[in-house]
Amino acid sequence: MSSLNMKKLGWYSNALLMGSMMITGCENPPSSIYVGNTAIDVNLPSSSSAHNAVCDPFDSTEVGLPENKIWGRIYSWDPWWNPETNSSSSTPRAGPKNVAGYISEGVMLDVELYLNQLNVPTRPFDQGFSTQDALILKTPRGDTLYEYFALQMEANIKIGSSDTAGYYQFALITDDGSVMQMDDNGVFRNIVNNDGNHPTKMACASEAVYFDSNTRLPVKINYYQGPRYHIAMMLMWRKVVDASAASLVESQCGKSGNSFFFNSNVSPPVPSANYTGLIGRGWKVLSTDNFLLPAEHSDPTPCTQSCFSDNYQAPNWNTFVLSKQNVDTASIKVFVGGSQLSSSEFIYDPTLNAVFVPGFRSGDVKIDFCVIPVGGGGGIGV
């Protein structure tokens, strides 16, 4: 492991010393995390691993078993930061034009990223990243990190509970660029290349990979987001007849546009006919039970939450769609204005994945619930 170059990390040491001075207007402000760069790593006590974890920042609806996750690193590239002088600049630098540039020129934040799946349809992204300790990731200048960042991710891919053995073709739908590599006899090589600055775009593999129940395919997926606000990051596959070129033809491969696959002007984003056509032709987003953590990052696993709270501030409706799927019905607790309702005062509809409160008139609503992890306890992916 390389030693720390404190000149190169001068802004980091200053941030630690100044702490909360970098954030104003907040009571008990969260601290910034600025550790590491592309050339070094920093040893931390093992007890801090859970606190330095960023868990599913894109809030996927599926929750898997502890081992059913993707591991990764987060990189920050700030156009208004001069790495030579370790100071802010009034003139922005020209940004990299590919994911390799964002990683090689960026600063690796000293956090570990855990994702349940890669299922982020085109949508605005401005909430940034926070750790288990609610520390907000910042740029060198102290701004919340939600643009000009890269994710470097690793996982083992397998067939899940609803998949069968056969040949599978991969695809990435992303905004901006992404690259997927697979392990080919000990050497990682590109299988999907969707790199570069572009709106939401689909790129497909030109080959198929055979999977059976014993297959564990190591993959690396790198993604970057350039200027704000819209992002998209979806890893898809479909089962094909065989590995021939004729089986791999897909009319939407290479197509792009901010509204081509999803209408992001509504929340949640609404699929377009182009996307629903993909689903009709057998494409689907990989489920959380299609992923296994790489062995070197599987113990301990800090992101194991399986119970959640959804909060609705003074809603004008009485039906509340839950943020996660595979809900354990017996775990649902509904609170209106701070008072818990009895089980006879609400109805859970599994088809809509929603709680209906017939007598609701006004007040804040909080719904606590747990999920049955996909891949365990009979849970199924959606």
Residue whose C-alpha is closest to residue 113's, from 132, 99, 100, 127? 132
Q: What percent of the chain has pLDDT over 90?
A: 59
Does residue 3 surpass a pLDDT of 50? Answer: no
Tell me: the pLDDT tens digits for 185-216?
999 999 999 999 999 999 999 999 999 999 99
Quick: pLDDT tens for 233-273.
Answer: 999 999 999 999 999 999 999 999 999 999 988 888 999 99
10-19, 242-251, 372-381: which is most confident: 242-251
Residue 76 contacts residue 95 (beta carbons within 8 Å) = no
- List the domain boundaries for the chain: 10-297, 307-370
**pLDDT tens by residue, 349-373:** 998 899 999 999 999 999 999 988 7
pLDDT value at position 372? 83
DSSP 8: T
Confidence check: pLDDT of 30 > 70: no
Side-by-side strand order, sheet with 319-321? 319-321, 354-356, 347-349
- What is the number of alpha carbons within 13 Å of residue 190 lying toward its C-beta? 12
Distance (Å, whole) CA 138 – CA 78? 10
Closest CA to 225 of 286, 178, 258, 268: 178
Measure Cα distances from 57 to 89, 107, 129, 298, 304 in Å.
Answer: 29, 19, 6, 19, 14
Q: How much is the CA Rg of the chain, to the nearest whole Å?
A: 22
- Angle (CA) 214-217-218 rounded to 5° is 140
| CA distances (Å), origin 145, targets 32, 59, 169, 282, 349 | 10, 17, 33, 36, 37
Inform me whether the pLDDT recorded for 130 exceeds 90: no
Query: Count of alpha carbons within 13 Å of 188, Cβ hemisphere only?
Result: 14
Average pLDDT, the chain: 83
Give CA 299 to chain center in angstroms: 20
Instruction: State yes or no: pLDDT of 49 exceeds 70.
Output: no
Q: Please determine, looking at this structure, whether the domain spanning 10-297 carries the CATH number 3.40.50.
A: no
Summarize pLDDT for 163-182 with one digit per residue, the tens: 999 999 999 999 999 999 99
From 51-55, 98-102, 258-262, 281-285, the region with the lowest mean pLDDT: 51-55
Task: Tell me the one-letter amino acid at 379.
Answer: G
Least confident of 85-94, 251-260, 344-353: 85-94
Mean pLDDT of 326-337: 93
pLDDT score at 14? 28
- Does the pTM surpass 0.85? The reply is no
Rounded to an integer, what distance in angstroms lies between the CA atom of residue 122 and that of residue 104?
26
Q: What is the DSSP letter of 256?
A: B
Tell me how far the alpha carbon of residue 366 is from its chain's centroid: 25
Quick one: pLDDT band at residue 12, thresholds 50, 70, 90? very low
At 22, the pLDDT band (50, 70, 90 cuts) reads: very low
Are the C-beta atoms of 215 and 166 separated by less than 8 Å? no
pLDDT for the residue numbered 5: 29
Nearest one of 190, 248, 251, 246 to 222, comparing CA atoms: 190
Residue 25 scores a pLDDT above 60: no
26 confidence band (pLDDT: 50, 70, 90): very low
Q: Are 237 and 170 in contact (CB under 8 A)?
A: yes
Q: Establish how many alpha carbons lie within 13 A of residue 11's alpha carbon, considering only the half-sphere containing its beta carbon.
A: 22
Other Cβ atoms less than 10 A from the Cβ of 351: the count is 5
Cα separation of 284 and 171, whole Å? 10
- Give the per-residue pLDDT at 50: 54
Predicted confidence band at 324 (pLDDT cuts at 50, 70, 90)?
confident
* Predicted pLDDT of residue 134: 75
Residue partners of 203: CB distance under 8 A and separation at least 6: 171, 172, 174, 178, 192, 193, 194, 253, 254
